[in-house]
Amino acid sequence: NSTVTMNDSSTFYLSQSTFDSFDDVLAWHEKAYADSDWENVTLSTVESDGLSTAMIGLTFGDSQSTTVLSETEDGSVEIQLSIVWAN
């Protein structure tokens, strides 16, 4: 939902939420990234108080992306995506 351009890169931020299950949202992102040209996919997950959070990191040349999925108490999943795109 916002873009910041500085020097040799642009950073894009997007946030959204869904009431799809955390496992379904994570599986969708894992498949989408596996089917893309992004590389070096890293995934870490943690659970606290019964709520899950996952962080997915990717690279594409000099560009980087981070996606954070956070399960909330109201049953939604918050999705935060940032991409630092090397110009």
The predicted model gives 31-40 an average pLDDT of 87
Q: What is the DSSP letter of 74?
A: T
Instruction: Give me the residues paired with residue 46 across strands.
Output: 53
Confidence of residue 16 (pLDDT cuts 50, 70, 90): very high
Residue 22 has a pLDDT of: 97
Residue 34 has a pLDDT of: 87
Residue 87 has a pLDDT of: 72
Residue 47 has a pLDDT of: 96
Which string of b and e fits 1-33 if b means at least 16 CB within 10 Å?
eeeeeeeeeeeeeeeeeeeeebeebbeebeeeb
Both tokens of 28, joined, read 């969708």
Q: Are 12 and 85 in contact (CB under 8 A)?
A: yes
